[in-house]
């Protein structure tokens, strides 16, 4: 009985994963290249002196018309050389400017407060966002804007790849590809799940229609909160393309501690998911728990279920590896599977017990 239930769960899991992988890989979205809106790029930066130059260099190489572009770097109360570095670039590139964030009011805090003030100071019809430890490709704007084919397209998120030099960093890249593939596929199927602020854009009219961050309840994952606010609005939907020309690169978490804090923030920020999503995740948790328990007890069916699950996980990351030409990531996949077991099993109880989040040396109380 146990073996039959476990293998059934693994088959259902694999079926769902395969559907997501195929949809993400095969989906094609309509594009239009004639439109040329004014674009505002917002980057919140707190103590990023070691990363901000790479970000700014990528902004300086953007090929979007300079008269239709502004890049606003919002200094989120840094106490290092971040503001001075931005001022140097602003002096050389007039479309880049520095804005110092004032203390937040109401529920606005941390990065949400900085991004809100950046948007308030901007004038673009399309607002694009990335992080200070990211670099964007020169054609990032045109390769994103082309998906705003109609007024009801409110959001266009994109994929991000982690720069990797070792197995630890490669694991993070695989994890991001898996996350983005599911997010892209579910969005294409009409069930928008999430997006990440490293490669994110929103139509200003859609942002204002939901009241902006001042009307959206505080979340430690402000990008997730804005994505759900806009995709829940009856007038707007999102397009989430797997487009290599719009791929953003991000720095990896340098240590396991940093990775733990990042994933805990992500997991905690997603606690507001709907009941259907919670139910799906509960089934996934039970399957992983069953496999671990079955392997420990040498129960029949455990190895079969593990094989089905592993094959499905590989299928999920292959679209990103193929589309973005990252075959070297395959060497890290076995370790990724171990990491993924730990992630799925441990984070739900951790988040239930430890609700506070540490982010950029500041403590935040988890939402929900």
At 22-48, the pLDDT tens digits run 999 898 889 998 889 999 999 999 999
pLDDT above 60: residue 358 = no
Query: % helix / strand / coil in the chain, to the nearest 5?
Result: 55, 15, 30
Select from 341, 221, 238 the least CA-distant residue to 273.
221
> Above 90 in pLDDT, residue 274?
no
pLDDT reported for residue 219: 72
pLDDT band at 368 (very low <50, low <70, confident <90, very high): very low
Q: pTM of the prediction?
A: 0.89
Measured CA to CA, the distance from residue 202 to residue 119 in angstroms comes to: 11
Q: Which residue has the tokens 């990440």?
A: 196
Quick one: pLDDT band at residue 364, thresholds 50, 70, 90?
Answer: low
Cβ-in-10-Å burial (0-12, 13-18, 19+) of 14 comes to buried
* Pairing, β 69-75 against β 153-155: unpaired
Res. 265: pLDDT tops 50: yes
| Alpha-helical segments (H) within 129-255 | 140-145, 167-188, 204-209, 212-215, 222-231
CA distance 177 to 318: 9
């Amino acid at each position: 009985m146990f073996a039959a239930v476990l293998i059934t769960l693994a088959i259902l899991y694999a079926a769902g994963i395969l559907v997501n992988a195929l949809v993400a890989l095969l989906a094609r979205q309509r594009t239009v290249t004639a439109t040329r809106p004014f674009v505002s790029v917002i980057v919140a930066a707190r103590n990023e002196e070691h990363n901000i130059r790479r970000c700014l260099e990528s902004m300086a190489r953007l090929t979007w018309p300079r008269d239709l572009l502004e890049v606003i770097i919002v200094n989120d109360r840094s106490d290092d050389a971040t503001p001075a570095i931005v001022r140097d670039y602003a002096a050389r590139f007039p479309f880049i400017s520095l804005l110092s964030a004032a203390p937040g009011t109401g529920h606005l805090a941390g990065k949400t407060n900085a991004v809100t003030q950046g948007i308030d100071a901007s004038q673009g019809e399309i607002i694009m966002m990335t992080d200070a430890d990211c670099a964007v490709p020169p054609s990032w704007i045109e390769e994103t804007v082309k998906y705003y084919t109609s007024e009801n397209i409110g959001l266009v998120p994109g994929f991000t790849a982690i720069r990797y030099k070792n197995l630890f960093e490669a694991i993070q890249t695989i994890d991001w590809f898996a996350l983005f593939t599911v997010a892209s596929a579910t969005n294409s199927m009409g069930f928008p799940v999430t997006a990440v602020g490293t490669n994110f854009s929103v139509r200003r009219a859609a942002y204002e229609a939901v009241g902006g961050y001042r009307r959206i309840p505080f979340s430690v994952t402000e990008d997730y909160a804005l994505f759900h606010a806009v995709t829940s609005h009856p007038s707007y939907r999102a397009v989430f393309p797997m487009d290599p020309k719009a791929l953003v690169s991000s720095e990896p978490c340098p240590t396991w501690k940093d990775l733990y804090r990042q994933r805990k923030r992500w997991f905690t920020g997603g606690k507001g998911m709907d009941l259907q999503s919670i139910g799906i995740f509960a089934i996934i948790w039970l399957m992983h728990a069953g496999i671990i328990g079955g392997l420990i007890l040498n129960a029949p069916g455990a190895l079969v279920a593990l094989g089905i699950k592993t094959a499905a996980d590989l299928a999920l990351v292959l679209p990103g590896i193929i589309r973005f030409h990252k075959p070297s990531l395959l060497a890290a996949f076995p370790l990724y599977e171990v990491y993924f077991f730990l992630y799925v099993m441990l984070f739900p109880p951790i988040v239930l017990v430890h609700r506070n989040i540490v982010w950029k040396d500041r403590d935040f109380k988890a939402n929900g």
